[in-house]
Amino acid sequence: MHILHVVGARPNFMKVAPVIAAFREYPVRQTLVHTGQHYDAGMSDVFFRQLGIPAPDVNLAVGSGSHAVQTAEIMARFEAVVLDQRPDVVLVYGDVNSTVAATLVCSKLGITIGHVEAGLRSFDRTMPEEINRLVTDQLADFLFTPSDDGDLNLLREGVDDKKIFRVGNVMIDTLVKLKPQAEAVTRDDDVFERPYALVTLHRPANVDQPESLSRMLCAIHDLSRDVRVVFPVHPRTRARINALGWQAPANVLLVDPVGYVEFLALQMRAAVVITDSGGIQEETTFLGVPCITLRANTERPVTVTIGTNVLVGEDMSRMLEAARAILAGRGPSGGIPPLWDGLAAHRIAEVLVAAHIERESQVVQLAS
């Protein structure tokens, strides 16, 4: 059995790592393709090393571009790889352009597709990721969902229930594995010595619009009067901040992006996390750390209904109100969703290996 994994951006790395590890327990050949959709040698290498991911067998080196150009480039370059490798199953992860591009290629070639993190919906089609999710899930043969809302979304969209497998959250598999390392992290500065709010901003809707970014920076300034703010700054976000000429006040610490383990350590010790990231909503829910999400909607509603997440949209007064309530001990306590237990990748491997054995048995029966 030959499994080909496709990743394109750092959020995919945390998802693919435990799946690759789970398949090592079986006599399975694995190939890792990095599309190069988002690639920074320093940061990508750190993530691969910390997560125990082997070096990619293929790097398509697509680079940045518009959604259409990037998706088309991935499709053109990936098709040749698939025709050469002829895997039994291609596994795609999350909702980036690499996910939908690889799915389209495989669908046209008749190659089995598995989507890890299927069924998530924000119900906001202005988000490119939502389009990627919708298309991928209509074409995939195996849909591995992290929570029951994913199952329900797929059923509403007419997906055959025999294709749907609720396995849990592979992001949490990685967190569970590396949590002991994160607990041992130390820093040269005094960040861990007093309470702090951890902030991350990277979504274009938040950082590429000067007015929106200015409002958020002003709110961060206001919050810093109540608590120290630690802000690992994405390179694109830093460029936008510099363009605005914003000067961080003394109680706001702007730091460079860090590796997965170091960032997990920052999350674990934070009094509150303020973010526009999808994955961080899940991680904080598992860790029991209050999270404020600067989005009007989320494709991970279980982090709100069960977990520690609060949505405030772009209303910075609501953000400050929620943050101050959390700092005063009135934040959501939350719980951990079912099957977020560190074993999701093993369930994926079990499903695909069993399906492969069944197919091989049918082939033998037909031949005889």
Active site residues: 202
CB 122 within 8 A of CB 298: yes
